[in-house]
Copies of this chain bind each other. A is one copy, B any other.
Protein backbone atom coordinates (compact mmCIF):
# COMPACT_ATOMS: atom_id res chain seq x y z
CA UNK A 1 0.00 0.00 0.00
CA UNK A 2 1.16 3.50 -0.86
CA UNK A 3 0.55 6.28 1.68
CA UNK A 4 -0.15 9.91 0.88
CA UNK A 5 -0.79 12.55 3.49
CA UNK A 6 -2.44 14.74 0.87
CA UNK A 7 -4.25 12.64 -1.74
CA UNK A 8 -3.25 13.63 -5.26
CA UNK A 9 -6.34 11.97 -6.75
CA UNK A 10 -9.83 11.52 -5.23
CA UNK A 11 -11.65 8.74 -7.11
CA UNK A 12 -11.63 6.09 -4.37
CA UNK A 13 -15.42 6.32 -3.83
CA UNK A 14 -16.10 5.75 -7.55
CA UNK A 15 -17.95 4.44 -9.51
CA UNK A 16 -21.05 6.38 -8.60
CA UNK A 17 -24.39 7.27 -10.11
CA UNK A 18 -24.68 10.86 -11.26
CA UNK A 19 -27.37 13.22 -10.01
CA UNK A 20 -28.36 15.84 -12.57
CA UNK A 21 -29.10 18.85 -10.40
CA UNK A 22 -31.75 21.27 -11.64
CA UNK A 23 -31.93 24.78 -10.21
CA UNK A 24 -34.09 27.73 -11.15
CA UNK A 25 -34.27 31.31 -10.04
CA UNK A 26 -36.83 33.44 -11.85
CA UNK A 27 -36.31 32.83 -15.56
CA UNK A 28 -32.90 31.26 -15.09
CA UNK A 29 -33.01 27.47 -15.29
CA UNK A 30 -29.93 25.28 -15.35
CA UNK A 31 -28.88 21.64 -15.00
CA UNK A 32 -25.49 20.29 -13.97
CA UNK A 33 -24.07 16.81 -13.31
CA UNK A 34 -22.99 16.01 -9.74
CA UNK A 35 -21.13 12.87 -8.70
CA UNK A 36 -20.72 13.88 -5.05
CA UNK A 37 -24.14 13.15 -3.62
CA UNK A 38 -25.65 10.88 -0.98
CA UNK A 39 -28.81 10.10 0.91
CA UNK A 40 -28.73 11.38 4.48
CA UNK A 41 -31.94 10.18 6.17
CA UNK A 42 -34.80 7.76 5.54
CA UNK A 43 -37.46 9.42 7.67
CA UNK A 44 -37.82 12.20 6.78
CA UNK A 45 -36.15 11.53 3.40
CA UNK A 46 -33.12 13.82 3.02
CA UNK A 47 -30.60 14.00 0.17
CA UNK A 48 -27.33 15.95 0.00
CA UNK A 49 -25.17 17.16 -2.87
CA UNK A 50 -21.81 18.92 -2.94
CA UNK A 51 -21.43 21.75 -5.49
CA UNK A 52 -18.54 24.08 -6.17
CA UNK A 53 -19.25 27.81 -5.75
CA UNK A 54 -17.71 28.19 -9.21
CA UNK A 55 -20.71 26.47 -10.74
CA UNK A 56 -23.50 28.56 -12.24
CA UNK A 57 -26.01 26.29 -10.48
CA UNK A 58 -24.53 27.18 -7.08
CA UNK A 59 -25.90 30.72 -7.01
CA UNK A 60 -29.28 29.73 -8.45
CA UNK A 61 -29.57 27.20 -5.64
CA UNK A 62 -28.46 29.62 -2.98
CA UNK A 63 -31.09 32.11 -4.10
CA UNK A 64 -34.01 29.76 -4.73
CA UNK A 65 -33.55 27.17 -1.96
CA UNK A 66 -34.98 24.44 -4.17
CA UNK A 67 -33.58 21.87 -6.56
CA UNK A 68 -34.30 18.64 -8.39
CA UNK A 69 -32.01 15.62 -8.67
CA UNK A 70 -32.59 13.46 -11.76
CA UNK A 71 -31.12 9.99 -12.30
CA UNK A 72 -30.69 8.74 -15.88
CA UNK A 73 -30.00 5.53 -17.74
CA UNK A 74 -26.66 4.61 -19.34
CA UNK A 75 -28.04 5.54 -22.76
CA UNK A 76 -27.95 9.17 -21.64
CA UNK A 77 -24.30 9.14 -20.51
CA UNK A 78 -23.36 11.62 -23.24
CA UNK A 79 -26.05 14.05 -22.12
CA UNK A 80 -24.85 13.76 -18.52
CA UNK A 81 -21.24 14.35 -19.64
CA UNK A 82 -22.31 17.44 -21.59
CA UNK A 83 -24.26 18.82 -18.63
CA UNK A 84 -21.17 18.28 -16.48
CA UNK A 85 -18.68 19.85 -18.88
CA UNK A 86 -20.55 23.00 -19.92
CA UNK A 87 -21.57 26.05 -17.97
CA UNK A 88 -24.97 27.71 -17.72
CA UNK A 89 -23.15 31.01 -17.62
CA UNK A 90 -22.22 30.50 -21.27
CA UNK A 91 -25.06 28.52 -22.80
CA UNK A 92 -28.72 27.82 -22.18
CA UNK A 93 -28.43 24.05 -21.76
CA UNK A 94 -32.18 23.48 -22.03
CA UNK A 95 -32.27 25.01 -25.52
CA UNK A 96 -28.79 23.86 -26.61
CA UNK A 97 -29.51 20.21 -25.83
CA UNK A 98 -33.27 20.29 -26.44
CA UNK A 99 -33.85 18.98 -22.93
CA UNK A 100 -37.23 17.46 -22.23
CA UNK A 101 -38.40 18.61 -18.83
CA UNK A 102 -40.39 16.84 -16.14
CA UNK A 103 -43.07 19.03 -14.61
CA UNK A 104 -42.51 19.34 -10.85
CA UNK A 105 -45.34 18.87 -8.37
CA UNK A 106 -44.07 20.63 -5.26
CA UNK A 107 -41.09 22.86 -6.05
CA UNK A 108 -40.75 25.24 -9.01
CA UNK A 109 -37.77 23.48 -10.62
CA UNK A 110 -38.40 20.86 -13.32
CA UNK A 111 -36.55 17.56 -13.54
CA UNK A 112 -35.06 15.93 -16.65
CA UNK A 113 -37.78 14.31 -18.76
CA UNK A 114 -35.66 11.28 -19.71
CA UNK A 115 -34.88 10.43 -16.09
CA UNK A 116 -35.93 7.17 -14.43
CA UNK A 117 -36.21 8.94 -11.05
CA UNK A 118 -36.38 12.56 -9.92
CA UNK A 119 -36.22 13.98 -6.40
CA UNK A 120 -37.85 17.33 -5.70
CA UNK A 121 -35.93 18.93 -2.83
CA UNK A 122 -36.19 21.95 -0.56
CA UNK A 123 -32.88 23.11 0.90
CA UNK A 124 -32.78 22.65 4.68
CA UNK A 125 -29.32 24.12 4.96
CA UNK A 126 -26.11 24.65 3.04
CA UNK A 127 -22.69 24.14 4.62
CA UNK A 128 -19.37 25.28 3.29
CA UNK A 129 -16.77 22.46 3.37
CA UNK A 130 -13.42 23.30 1.82
CA UNK A 131 -13.82 24.23 -1.83
CA UNK A 132 -17.45 23.07 -2.14
CA UNK A 133 -20.85 23.82 -0.62
CA UNK A 134 -22.94 20.90 0.64
CA UNK A 135 -26.66 21.42 0.00
CA UNK A 136 -28.91 19.40 2.28
CA UNK A 137 -32.35 18.89 0.75
CA UNK A 138 -35.56 17.53 2.20
CA UNK A 139 -37.04 15.26 -0.49
CA UNK A 140 -40.57 16.63 -0.85
CA UNK A 141 -41.49 14.56 -3.89
CA UNK A 142 -40.26 11.53 -5.85
CA UNK A 143 -41.07 10.75 -9.48
CA UNK A 144 -40.02 7.37 -10.82
CA UNK A 145 -40.53 5.01 -13.69
CA UNK A 146 -41.84 1.81 -12.05
CA UNK A 147 -40.29 -0.32 -14.83
CA UNK A 148 -36.83 0.91 -13.83
CA UNK A 149 -36.93 -0.46 -10.27
CA UNK A 150 -37.61 -3.93 -8.89
CA UNK A 151 -40.26 -5.01 -6.39
CA UNK A 152 -38.32 -3.67 -3.38
CA UNK A 153 -37.18 -0.53 -5.17
CA UNK A 154 -33.65 -1.52 -6.26
CA UNK A 155 -32.48 -0.30 -9.69
CA UNK A 156 -33.55 -2.72 -12.44
CA UNK A 157 -32.25 -0.42 -15.19
CA UNK A 158 -28.75 0.37 -16.41
CA UNK A 159 -27.76 3.59 -14.67
CA UNK A 160 -25.32 6.26 -15.72
CA UNK A 161 -22.35 5.04 -13.68
CA UNK A 162 -19.40 7.38 -13.52
CA UNK A 163 -15.87 6.04 -13.05
CA UNK A 164 -14.27 9.50 -12.93
CA UNK A 165 -12.65 11.85 -15.43
CA UNK A 166 -15.06 11.42 -18.36
CA UNK A 167 -15.36 7.61 -18.20
CA UNK A 168 -18.65 5.75 -17.73
CA UNK A 169 -19.23 2.03 -17.12
CA UNK A 170 -22.16 -0.35 -17.06
CA UNK A 171 -23.36 -2.92 -14.56
CA UNK A 172 -22.73 -6.59 -15.25
CA UNK A 173 -25.89 -8.21 -13.92
CA UNK A 174 -24.79 -11.69 -14.89
CA UNK A 175 -22.57 -11.68 -11.82
CA UNK A 176 -25.08 -10.41 -9.25
CA UNK A 177 -24.70 -11.73 -5.70
CA UNK A 178 -27.66 -11.78 -3.32
CA UNK A 179 -27.11 -12.58 0.35
CA UNK A 180 -29.62 -13.79 2.91
CA UNK A 181 -29.14 -11.27 5.72
CA UNK A 182 -30.63 -13.70 8.24
CA UNK A 183 -27.62 -15.93 7.69
CA UNK A 184 -25.33 -13.25 9.10
CA UNK A 185 -27.54 -11.47 11.60
CA UNK A 186 -26.03 -11.65 15.08
Chain B residue contacts of A10, Cβ below 8 A = 39, 42, 45, 153
A13 an interface residue at 8 Å Cβ cutoff? yes
B167 touches A86 (CB 8 A): no
Contact (A37, B40) CB under 8 Å given A1-B145, A129-B124, A142-B4 = no
Distance (whole angstroms) from the CB of A131 to the closest CB of chain B: 5
Known contacts A46-B130, A82-B184, A168-B179; 6 further A-B pairs (Cβ under 8 A): A6-B45, A12-B155, A37-B38, A40-B132, A163-B171, A163-B176
Listed A/B pairs (29) with beta-carbon separation below 8 Å: A1-B144, A2-B143, A3-B143, A10-B42, A10-B45, A10-B153, A12-B117, A16-B16, A38-B38, A38-B50, A39-B50, A40-B50, A41-B50, A41-B130, A48-B48, A48-B129, A48-B134, A77-B177, A86-B186, A87-B186, A127-B127, A152-B164, A153-B164, A155-B163, A167-B176, A167-B177, A167-B178, A170-B175, A170-B176
